[in-house]
Amino acid sequence: MTTTERTDVGERLDVRVIPSPQKHPTIFGKWRALQPGESFTLVNDHDPKPLYHHFNAEHPGQFEWEYLENGPETWRVRIGRPRA
């Protein structure tokens, strides 16, 4: 995990407006639809570190994760699929 100041990458998925039980399924669905080398920017109102651990448990080495903004009110993370 890295922290940088960058602009959004790919499409933007703002999960702040999604009901809590639907957040992880929505995010994983978006990730599964990506082609190798593609990514999207996740926007959340808290650090999505539990989501990182969820990805790492189910898809180790198969995803990319880069913090673009690190709070305190908004977190933005680039989530992607590595190039083949």
Pairing of strands 75-80, 39-44: antiparallel
Q: Please tell me what DSSP assigns to residue 33.
A: T
First-to-final CA distance of the chain: 20
CA–CA gap between residue 59 and residue 71 (Å, rounded): 26
- The string of pLDDT tens digits covering residues 49-66 is 999 999 999 999 999 999
The per-residue pLDDT for 9 is 80
Residue in 81, 68, 72 with CA at minimum distance from that of residue 9: 68
The overall average pLDDT reported for the chain is 93
Where in the chain are the domains?
Answer: 11-80
Tens digit of each residue's pLDDT (9 = 90 or more) over 16-36: 999 999 999 999 999 999 999
pLDDT at position 76 is: 97
- Alpha helical stretches, state H, 2-80: 20-32, 49-58
pTM: predicted TM-score of the whole model, two decimal places: 0.89
Which CATH number is associated with domain 11-80? 3.30.110.40
Q: In the prediction, which pLDDT does 84 show?
A: 78
